[in-house]
């Protein structure tokens, strides 16, 4: 049994915070932020938006693409570092508000690597036939945990969510290999110190700003560039493939320079690396599914393509996964997958042709 990715969706708040806006808030400027990170703007949640509400928005879109109803879902995994509460799990709020009455639900905490971890766990649940349909969601409202007076961190992060639907299918596809790693000795490099059982919230912790993200940027940078290439190579090897077989790498979107350094180490062309950190900043665990949605939208990821997801983050954690992209199951399940893949490719060629013709018409008009 395989776990095909048959639905996807993303949600970002409409409010955009540009580097120029940030320059009004802290001592920074657009040139510094762009040259060090590649980030130009990020989306920030409105007061009524939360990690759960963004997750639900993304999940509903993913279910629609997969042509499933919430009651068809057996398992919901919400990966997040910014849950609604310490408990209950944000996944349970999502389950309830979706009306996914038959689903088990839990949160997964592996920071920016969390979506890859969640994808792996949901895949194993499907492959062992424990569940048939799973929702994997990455969601963050990091803006609630950022010290907006700390220029070394507040420029980096953004809010958003992305969701995948995974469905059981007998033809090979979906996640075919993965690597999950951690090194807890680096836990203090990226941490939210207070609010847990180790240091419960108190007037002192609030006064000292210990409920905000703290980071040692340079060390995290060094760690990230070291592990991204390693994990990618390992996952590709585990899938018995080579990098030439990979049509697109979709990395965690933390920093343009980190992504470029990793691509250089892999000797992999940047044209085949998905980057959208410029418009969203670092949305932590949501960044890979958001980038995937945009890769599909722009025709860079199509049925049958082999792609690598690779990420790193607090913990320290990191990981990579090789995925054969599927697309929604055909409504008539009897259509053979090879035929379906051909049809999907034909459909996307036609769509691109229509877009090009539209472009010519609008361009001339």
- Which residues, in sequence order, are CB contacts of 59 under 8 Å at separation 6+? 9, 76, 94, 98, 135, 137, 163
Q: Is 277 exposed, middle or buried (0-12, 13-18, 19+ CB in 10 A)?
A: buried
What is the CB-side half-sphere exposure of residue 177 using CA atoms within 13 A?
16
- Give 37 or 133: the residue with its C-beta nearer to ligand COA: 37
Please say if 216 is a catalytic residue.
no
Write the CA distances from 141 to 59, 86, 115, 157, 275, integer angstroms: 16, 14, 15, 9, 21
The pairing of strands 41-43 and 16-18 is: antiparallel
Cα 111 from Cα 316, distance rounded (Å): 9
Q: Closest separation between CB of residue 113 and ligand COA, Å?
A: 8
> Is 256 a residue that touches ligand COA (CB under 6 A)?
no
Q: Which of 182, 221, 260, 345 binds ligand COA (CB under 6 A)?
A: 221
Catalytic choice (19, 43, 92, 112):
112
Among the residue ranges 29-37, 54-62, 197-205, 328-336, the one whose residues contact ligand COA (CB under 6 A): 29-37
Nearest-5° angle of CA 54, CA 117, CA 99?
40
- Element containing residue 347 per DSSP (H, E): helix 337-364
Write the interaction track for ligand COA spanning residues 146-185; mark x where CB under 6 A is met and - where it is not.
Answer: -----xx--x------------------------------
Q: How far is the CB of 30 from ligand COA (least distance, A)?
A: 10
Is 255 marked active-site?
no
> Is residue 112 flagged as an active site residue?
yes
CB of 296: closest distance to ligand COA in angstroms?
24
Among 77, 131, 179, 254, binds ligand COA (CB under 6 A): 254
Candidate residues 36, 132, 272, 306; the one interacting with ligand COA per rule CB under 6 A: 36
First to last CA, the chain: 51
Asked if residue 218 binds ligand COA (CB under 6 A), the reply is yes
**Burial (Cβ within 10 Å: 0-12, 13-18, ≥19) of residue 30:** middle
Residue 148 sits at the vertex; the CA angle it makes with 143 and 149, to the nearest 5 degrees, is 165
State which residue, 224 or 303, has the beta carbon closest to ligand COA: 224
Q: Does 235 bind ligand COA (CB under 6 A)?
A: no
Residue 334 in contact with ligand COA, rule: CB under 6 A: no
Longest dimension (CA), the chain: 64
Encoded one letter per residue, x for contact with ligand COA by CB under 6 A and - for no contact, window 273-302 reads ---------x--------------------
Rounded CA separation 339/329 (Å): 12
Among residues 252, 255, 276, 293, which one is catalytic?
252
Residue (of 185, 182, 135, 190) closest to 163 by Cα position: 135
> Which residue's CB is nearer to ligand COA, number 28 or number 247?
28
CB 2, CB 325: distance < 8 Å: no
- Is 188 a residue that touches ligand COA (CB under 6 A)? no
Instruction: For ligand COA, give the closer residue by CB, 10 or 155.
Output: 155
- Under the binding rule (CB under 6 A), the answer on residue 217 touching ligand COA is yes
Q: Which residues make up the interface to ligand COA (CB under 6 A)? A: 28, 32-33, 36-37, 112, 151-152, 155, 190, 215, 217-218, 220-221, 254-255, 282, 313
Catalogue the active-site residues: 112, 252, 282
């Amino acid at each position: 049994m395989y776990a095909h990715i048959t639905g996807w969706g993303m949600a970002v708040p409409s409010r955009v915070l540009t580097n120029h806006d940030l320059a009004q808030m802290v001592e920074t400027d657009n040139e510094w932020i762009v040259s060090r990170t590649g980030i130009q703007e990020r989306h920030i949640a409105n007061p009524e938006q939360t990690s759960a509400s963004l997750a639900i928005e993304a999940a509903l879109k993913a279910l629609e693409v997969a042509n499933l109803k919430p009651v068809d879902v057996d398992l919901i995994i919400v990966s997040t570092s910014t849950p609604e509460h310490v408990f209950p799990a944000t996944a349970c709020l999502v389950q309830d508000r979706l009306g996914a009455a038959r689903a088990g639900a839990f949160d997964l905490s592996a920071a920016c690597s969390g979506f890859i971890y969640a994808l792996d766990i949901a895949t194993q649940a499907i492959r062992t036939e424990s569940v048939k349909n799973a929702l994997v969601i990455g969601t963050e409202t990091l803006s609630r945990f950022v010290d907006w007076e700390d220029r070394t961190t507040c420029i980096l992060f953004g809010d958003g969510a992305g969701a995948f639907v995974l469905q059981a299918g007998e033809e090979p596809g979906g996640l075919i290999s993965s690597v999950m790693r951690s090194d807890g000795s680096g836990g203090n490099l990226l941490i939210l110190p207070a609010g847990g059982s180790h240091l419960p919230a108190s007037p002192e912790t609030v006064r000292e700003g210990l409920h905000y993200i703290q980071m040692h940027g340079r060390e995290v940078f060094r760690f990230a560039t070291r592990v991204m290439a390693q994990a990618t190579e390992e996952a590709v090897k585990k899938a018995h493939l080579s990098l030439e077989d990979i049509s697109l790498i979709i990395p965690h979107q933390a920093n343009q320079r980190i992504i470029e350094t990793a691509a250089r180490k892999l000797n992999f062309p940047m044209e085949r690396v998905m980057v959208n950190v410029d418009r969203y900043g670092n949305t932590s665990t949501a960044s890979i599914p958001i980038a995937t949605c945009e890769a599909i939208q722009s025709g860079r990821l199509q049925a049958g393509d082999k792609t690598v997801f690779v990420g790193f983050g607090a913990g320290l954690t990191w990981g990579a996964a090789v995925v054969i992209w599927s697309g929604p199951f055909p409504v008539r399940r009897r259509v053979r997958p090879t035929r379906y893949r051909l049809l999907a490719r034909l459909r996307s060629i036609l769509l691109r042709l229509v877009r090009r013709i539209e472009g010519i018409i609008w361009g001339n008009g």
